[in-house]
Amino acid sequence: MIRPRWLAVLLAALAIASAVDGLLLWQAQQWNRVIAGGVTEAGEMAAGALPPEAGFAEAYRAGRAGDLQTALNLYKRVEQSDSLELSLAARYNSGNLYLEEALELRDSDGEKNALPMAELAKESYRGVLRRDSRYWDAKYNLERALRAFPDSAAQSGLEPPEQAERAITTMRGFTLGLP
């Protein structure tokens, strides 16, 4: 008597677990279809009805299509997700879009118009590295951005001001009670 009851409880638990897994699989397939087909309604993404992964895929697609503003807005929304990896990847891709735009602007309009985009790219890469210092792609692209658009000496603090006092030349050479 105990054995059939125990077996029935076990089978019921397995049936419930299978139903839950089936529902999750169906939901994942629906999201994959949406990601593969593209988000057709902007309202879905704005309302947060889509998961961050779908927003990331749509932002990537918009960036490839040249729609910079849409891609950056979608990446910004994905950056606020709970997933650290996805958030870092979205910020990194935002930096890539800014850097590509800065390089294109420099080639067409000159350095002056490209600097704001370059600074945004560098800030995006630095933000990624602040959260995960081992993100090698961000390190490489930050180095690339710094070579293409170096920080000014005054901003980076590498050179002292012209009127700065030099400690080595103004110190007197005497010992303080040492033998």
91-131 pLDDT, tens digit each: 999 999 999 999 999 999 878 888 999 999 999 999 999 99
All residues at 6 or more sequence positions from 153 whose CB lies less than 8 Å from its CB, including other chains: 159
pTM summary value: 0.68
Domain residue extents for the chain: 27-81, 84-150
Please answer whether residues 96 and 104 qualify as being in contact, where contact means their C-beta atoms are separated by less than 8 angstroms.
Answer: no
Give the least confident one: 81-85, 103-107, 154-158: 154-158
Q: State the Cα–Cα distance between residues 134 and 153, nearest whole angstrom.
A: 27
Please answer whether residues 104 and 148 qualify as being in contact, where contact means their C-beta atoms are separated by less than 8 angstroms.
Answer: no
Please answer whether residues 58 and 31 qualify as being in contact, where contact means their C-beta atoms are separated by less than 8 angstroms.
Answer: no
